[in-house]
Amino acid sequence: MLSIENLHVSINGTQVLKGTSLQINQGETVILFGPNGSGKTTLLYTIMGIGNYEVTEGRILFDGTDITHMPPNERAQLGIGMSMQRPPSIHGLKTRDLVRLCAGKREIDIDELARKVNLEHFLERDVNLGFSGGEIKRSELLQLMAQHPKLVLFDEPESGVDVENMALVGSMARKLLEGELAPDRTHTMLDIKQERKTSGLIITHTGHILDYITADRGHVLYNGHLCCADNPKRILDHLQKYGYKECIRCLT
Amino acid sequence: MKKPDLSHYEFSGHSAGKVEDLKRLGKAEKESMRMAGFDAEEKGTSASFVQIDHDNAFCKSYNPGVEILPLGLAMHMHEGLADYRWRLLKPEKDEYTRMAADNPHGGYVIRVKKGVRLDQPIQSCLMMHTNNVGQNVHNIVIIEEGAEAHILSGCTTTEADQSAAHIGISEFYVEKNASLTFTMVHNWGEKVDVRPRSAGQVEAGGIFQSNYISLKPVRNLQMYPSITMKGASSISRFNSVIVATEGTYMDVGNRVILDAPDTRTEIISHAIASGGHIVARGHIQANHAPSKGHLECQGLLLNKGIIQAIPELDGRAEGAELSHEAAVGKIAREELDYLMIRGLSEEEASSAIIRGFLDIDIMGLPNELQAEIQQAISETEKSML
């Protein structure tokens, strides 16, 4: 579904990604770890096509289409969605109107979706204006639910979210990635798993999101290089014990 | 400040006389009035006033709690009114005020009686109909103790390409515990010069809320209304939404004097210079404490527009809290990106941001006017992209 090949990215002449390759298949969820400044957000922004980043080498394919230089709205229309870590607020634009814009031509029940993330009282408020950390994440999830992407990019779903909100954010992120279907008489768990089409790429510092979602793989991005590919919980466990210093040894 | 040349305007000889029924006004007149927020059908109004060129054309109150009269008649009927005329403003203020004092063409006097709370707005329209006409009006608004009113004051030319000058003197008296919302909608054209001169005072416990909307071009407009918070615990709020397209020069702002303890004011303006030139001023003077004032100017530059934001805070009493915030620039890249990742094209995203920037929800306008302005904003926004 998503195929990143030898990606080199720089910002204002400084190289941030130095030959990153990554493959995400349909229905797969991948976790990206890495210290501050390692290039995690750069990678997400470059996949989405926003920010001041310049791809100097390599390419990004989505469903076989080369999207390396495509404007962000076209990438969104192909099915890539992103939850930003610190999205801007927009004066005068009501959350309800933005959610409607996110849905494009699809029919959605905005109030029903808002209830799911406990934001029904925020629909008439300006987008993100005066929202708490948890409210921002829930608003991002609401927009993504309306957008219904095939690939979800999550930039730190747990940052600024308190414990109580984390459970809601986590379970909604799970629903977004895994769908809401439960096995019944006509659908076995296997059927559902095979039908699962949404993929995810999630940046996390703390790993709290792993309490709620099941990820297939984890990677560490260190100093612009993607290293390590392992079970995300094992990587997290390792990072908690030894920090990133082992990554340096691994890379050198 | 750019000065207009008013010598070629005709400040005499355009008396149009009365209009018995507003429904019988011409289509162009009605349309331009509508764009200035005036409903010729008079649905849901407490009172209506129309001035065309040098004469009062229509004046009617539908609520016994509202007295509305053309200035001349009001001066005849009420001796006491002389105390209100030229109390807050003086003819010697400047050459425009002098002109209006020397050659008055009327204007309205609105008095909302003590304790009367109007559910429906009072609407007025000051229209310039003849090409090259110059209009001087003097309006006096008195909201008596405990009364509450919303006045919609629209100013317009009949045709968008018409040449005209408008000098409007306004004096506002908001008495004890009274509340006035004054919404001014300007619907000018590229060949119009405008000099409103306004002043007001708010007594103890009173509330003055001013809304100002100007989305159409205007050649040269300058105004700096001054409101004095005279009584303790009085509050004022000013919201303005202005757009200056190419050929437009607007020098606008609000001055508020916090002249009693526990007074508060908030001045917020959203200005877009899309090829035009805006000077956005603001001045809050605090003479007493505790008092609180906030001045805010958000400016958006498009199509080589110019915005000069000039805020001034003048604290003269310890314990006064004054603040200001100003930002002038182009549409923020990160806001565009944010909307584009949701599937909007760059143009759709810019348009949503501009529409939001010109948001008028906070003004509390009647539904129909709100819809009308929203429509005008959509049209204006298209022309800016």
Q: Is residue B112 part of a domain?
A: yes
Residue B108 has pLDDT above 90, yes or no: yes
Residue B307 has pLDDT above 80, yes or no: yes
Range of the domain at B130: 6-330
**Do B325 and B336 reside in the same domain of the chain?**
no
3-class secondary structure per residue, chain B: CCCCCCCCCECCCCECCCCCCHHHCCHHHHHHHHHCCCCCCCCCCCEEEEEEECEEEEEEECCCCEEEEEHHHHHHHCHHHHHCCCCCCCHHHCHHHHHHHHCCCCCEEEEECCCCECCCCEEEEEEECCCCEEEEEEEEEEECCCCEEEEEEEEEECCCCCEEEEEEEEEEEECCCCEEEEEEEEECCCEEEEEEEEEEEECCCCEEEEEEEECCCCCEEEECCEEEECCCCCEEEEEEEEEEECCCEEEEEEEEEECCCCEEEEEEEEEEEEECEEEEEEEEEECCCCEEEEEEEEEEEECCCEEEEEEEEEECCCCEEEEEEEEEECCCHHHHHHHHCCCCCHHHHHHHHHHHHCCCHHHCCCHHHHHHHHHHHHHHHHHHC
Residue B358: its chain A contacts at CB < 8 A? 92
B13 in reach of chain A (CB within 8 A):
no
Residue B332: its chain A contacts at CB < 8 A? 88
User: Which residues between 223 and 262 in chain B have a beta carbon less than 8 angstroms from any beta carbon of chain A?
Assistant: none
Give ipTM to 2 decimals. Answer: 0.94
Number of domains making up chain B: 2
**Do B164 and B210 reside in the same domain of the chain?**
yes
B337 in reach of chain A (CB within 8 A):
yes
Across B120-139, average pLDDT? 96
Q: Is residue B1 part of a domain?
A: no
**Do B285 and B350 reside in the same domain of the chain?**
no
User: What pLDDT, in 10s, does the model give residues A91-133?
Assistant: 999 999 999 999 998 899 999 999 999 999 999 999 999 999 9
Tell me which residue in A77, A88, A101 faces B334 most closely, judged by beta carbons. A88
Residue A189 has pLDDT above 90, yes or no: no
* A67, A74, A93, A147, best to mutate vs chain B, most B CBs in 10 Å: A93
- Looking at every residue in chain B, the average pLDDT score rounds to 95
B342 in reach of chain A (CB within 8 A):
yes
Q: How far is A183 from chain B (nearest CA, A)?
A: 32
Q: Is residue B69 part of a domain?
A: yes
pLDDT band at A192 (very low <50, low <70, confident <90, very high): low
Inspect the interface and report whether the beta carbons of B356 and A91 lie closer than 8 Å: yes
pLDDT band at B302 (very low <50, low <70, confident <90, very high): very high
Q: What is the pLDDT of residue A195?
A: 65
User: What pLDDT, in 10s, does the model give residues B269-279?
Assistant: 999 999 999 99
Residue B348: its chain A contacts at CB < 8 A? 101
**Do B130 and B245 reside in the same domain of the chain?**
yes
Residue A187 has pLDDT above 90, yes or no: no
Q: What is the pTM of this model?
A: 0.91
- Looking at every residue in chain A, the average pLDDT score rounds to 90
**Do B361 and B244 reside in the same domain of the chain?**
no
**Do B251 and B379 reside in the same domain of the chain?**
no
**Do B57 and B173 reside in the same domain of the chain?**
yes
Q: What is the pLDDT of residue A246?
A: 75
Q: What is the pLDDT of residue B381?
A: 86
Residue B227 has pLDDT above 70, yes or no: yes
**Do B145 and B286 reside in the same domain of the chain?**
yes
Q: Which region among A134-148, A158-172, B104-118, B177-191 has the lowest average model confidence (pLDDT)?
A: A158-172
**Do B34 and B152 reside in the same domain of the chain?**
yes
Tell me which residue in B341, B356, B361 faces A76 most closely, judged by beta carbons. B341
pLDDT band at B107 (very low <50, low <70, confident <90, very high): very high
Tell me which residue in B346, B349, B357 faces A91 most closely, judged by beta carbons. B357
Q: Is residue B349 part of a domain?
A: yes
**Do B198 and B121 reside in the same domain of the chain?**
yes
Q: What is the pLDDT of residue B385?
A: 81
Q: Is residue B45 part of a domain?
A: yes
Inspect the interface and report whether the beta carbons of B343 and A84 lie closer than 8 Å: no
* B335, B341, B355, best to mutate vs chain A, most A CBs in 10 Å: B341
Q: How far is A171 from chain B (nearest CA, A)?
A: 22
User: Which residues between 343 and 382 in chain B have a beta carbon less than 8 angstroms from any beta carbon of chain A?
Assistant: 343-346, 348-349, 352-353, 355-359, 361
pLDDT band at A230 (very low <50, low <70, confident <90, very high): confident
Q: What is the pLDDT of residue A243?
A: 85
For the domain spanning A2-87+150-251, the CATH number is: 3.40.50.300
Residue B201 has pLDDT above 90, yes or no: yes
Residue B344: its chain A contacts at CB < 8 A? 73, 101
Chain A residue with CA closest to B347: the answer is A73
**Percentage of chain B with pLDDT > 90?**
91
pLDDT band at A252 (very low <50, low <70, confident <90, very high): low
Residue B343 has pLDDT above 90, yes or no: yes
User: What pLDDT, in 10s, does the model give residues B158-174?
Assistant: 998 999 999 999 999 99
**Do B384 and B284 reside in the same domain of the chain?**
no
